[in-house]
C-alpha cells in the first residue's frame, strides 16, 4: 500500500550524519515527519530528538522498533558501515521503504542478498548518493546527455580534504567495521559520480592506496583508474590527508567536442576550439534536503529512484575491486602518520 503524506520516517543510527537527515526532514513538514529514532546511545537520541523539536518514539533496538511500532512507513539507515546490510535486510522483512547511507554494505555477498530480498517487493530503496542532487552534478549530466561535449572520452572525480578528525579509536579506524578505509567512505561519493557520468559498466580497475595522516587500519588516500566498457577512461582521487590538488577541479570531463569542469557551485564549459571557458554560476543547495524531498516523492508515487540498489551494488563492486587491486600497499604507508602521536 502506497503511503500518504507526510511520509513517516524512522532514523536508525542518530550519530553525526543523521543531523543532516533530520534537518532535511524539518525542511519538508508537508511531506516528511520523523516518528521514531533508534540508537544505542541515549545522548545521541536526546540530541536528535531535541533537533527535531518534537517527541519521536525512542528505541535502542531497531528490530524491536520495526516489529512493535506501527507509525513507520520508511527508514533512514545511518549506522556504522558494518551494520548497514543487516539493517537493510531487517527493514525489507518489515516491509519498510529505505534510504540507506553509503555504502550499501561491506561485501558483495550481502549486497546480492539485499538485491534478491528487494526483488518483487515494490519497496523503494534509495542509497544516500546525496551529491547527485548538487546543481553542478545535475548540470553536467544534462549537458553531457545533450551532447555539449560530444562523445565522452575521459573524466576525473575528486574528493580530497585534510580531515581533522582522529579515527584511530573510532569505528572508522577499524577495517572490519568500516569495510575498508577512506575509499568506501568519502571516496564513495567520487566513485558514484564517476559511474553516473560514464554511464557504462566497469571493465577494468587499477588502484594505489596510501596512509599519511590517519592512524587507521585502512587507507586515508586512494588513487583509482577505471576503464569502462564504452571505452571511457575514468580517474578517482580521494583523500583525508591533503586538499584537492591546486589548479584541478572536483569534476572534469573531456569529450571529443569540448570539456566540462568545476568545483562546488562554479562550472566551466569549454567547447572545442574556444580559447576561454564559459563560467556558469549555480545556486547553492542543501543536498540532503533535496535528497529527502526526492525520496519522499519516489515513495509517495511508487517510482524507482535515479539510483537504487543495483547502482549501489555496482559502486560497492568498483570499490572492492580497487581495494583488491591495491593489495600490498601497507608496507609503504607512513610509519607514524602526520600529526598523530
- In tens digits, the chain (341 residues) has pLDDT values of 678 889 999 999 999 999 999 999 999 999 999 999 999 999 999 999 999 998 999 999 999 999 999 999 999 999 999 999 999 999 999 999 999 999 999 999 999 999 999 999 999 999 999 999 999 999 999 999 999 999 999 999 999 999 999 999 999 999 999 999 999 999 999 999 999 999 999 999 999 999 999 999 999 999 999 999 999 999 999 999 999 999 999 999 999 999 999 999 999 999 999 999 999 999 999 999 999 999 999 999 999 999 999 999 999 999 999 999 999 999 999 877 665 54
pLDDT at 128: 98
pLDDT at 1: 65
* Distance separating alpha carbons of residues 322 and 341, to the nearest angstrom: 30
Q: How many CA within 13 A on the CB side of residue 286?
A: 14
pTM of the model: 0.96
* β-bridge pairing 125-127 and 97-100: parallel
Cα separations (Å) of 304 from 73, 131, 300, 311, 315?
16, 18, 11, 12, 18
pLDDT at 338: 64
pLDDT at 100: 98
pLDDT at 334: 83
* Distance separating alpha carbons of residues 222 and 209, to the nearest angstrom: 5
Asked whether 212 and 337 are in contact (CB, 8 A), the reply is yes
pLDDT at 4: 85
* Distance separating alpha carbons of residues 111 and 104, to the nearest angstrom: 7
Buried-exposed string 175-204: b where 16+ CB fall within 10 A, e elsewhere = beebbbbbbbbbbbbbbbbbbbbbeeebee
Q: Domains of the chain, with CATH numbers?
A: 7-130 (3.40.50.720), 132-288+318-332 (3.30.360.10)
* Distance separating alpha carbons of residues 108 and 111, to the nearest angstrom: 5
Amino acid at each position: 500500500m502506497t503511503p500518504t503524506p507526510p511520509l513517516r520516517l524512522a532514523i536508525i543510527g542518530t550519530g553525526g550524519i543523521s543531523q543532516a537527515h533530520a534537518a532535511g526532514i524539518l525542511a519538508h513538514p508537508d511531506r516528511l515527519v520523523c516518528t521514531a529514532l533508534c540508537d544505542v546511545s541515549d545522548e545521541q537520541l536526546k540530541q536528535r530528538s531535541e533537533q527535531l523539536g518534537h517527541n519521536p518514539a525512542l528505541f535502542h533496538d531497531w528490530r524491536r522498533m520495526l516489529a512493535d511500532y506501527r507509525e513507520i512507513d520508511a527508514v533512514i539507515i545511518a549506522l556504522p558501515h558494518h551494520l548497514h546490510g543487516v539493517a537493510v535486510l531487517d527493514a525489507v522483512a518489515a516491509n519498510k521503504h529505505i534510504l540507506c547511507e553509503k555504502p550499501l554494505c561491506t561485501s558483495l555477498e550481502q549486497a546480492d542478498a539485499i538485491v534478491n530480498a528487494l526483488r518483487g517487493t515494490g519497496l523503494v530503496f534509495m542509497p544516500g548518493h546525496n551529491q547527485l542532487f548538487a546543481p553542478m552534478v545535475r548540470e553536467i549530466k544534462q549537458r553531457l546527455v545533450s551532447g555539449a561535449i560530444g562523445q565522452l572520452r575521459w573524466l576525473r572525480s575528486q574528493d580530497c580534504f585534510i580531515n581533522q578528525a582522529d579515527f584511530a579509536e573510532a569505528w572508522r579506524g577499524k577495517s572490519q567495521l568500516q569495510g575498508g578505509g577512506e575509499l568506501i567512505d568519502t571516496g564513495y561519493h567520487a566513485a558514484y559520480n564517476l559511474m553516473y557520468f560514464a554511464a557504462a559498466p566497469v571493465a577494468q580497475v587499477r588502484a594505489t592506496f596510501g596512509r599519511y595522516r590517519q592512524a587507521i587500519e585502512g587507507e586515508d588516500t586512494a588513487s583509482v583508474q577505471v576503464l569502462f566498457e564504452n571505452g571511457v577512461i575514468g580517474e578517482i582521487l580521494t583523500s583525508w590527508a591533503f586538499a584537492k590538488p591546486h589548479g584541478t577541479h572536483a569534476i572534469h570531463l573531456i569529450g571529443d567536442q569540448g570539456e566540462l569542469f568545476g568545483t562546488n557551485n562554479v562550472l566551466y564549459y569549454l567547447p572545442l576550439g574556444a580559447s576561454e571557458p564559459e563560467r556558469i554560476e549555480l545556486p547553492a543547495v542543501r543536498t540532503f534536503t533535496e535528497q529527502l524531498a526526492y525520496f519522499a516523492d519516489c515513495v509517495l508515487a511508487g517510482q524507482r529512484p535515479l539510483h537504487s540498489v543495483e547502482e549501489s551494488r555496482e559502486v560497492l563492486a568498483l570499490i572492492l575491486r580497487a581495494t583488491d587491486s591495491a593489495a600490498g600497499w601497507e608496507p609503504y604507508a607512513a610509519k607514524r602518520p602526520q600529526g598523530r602521536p
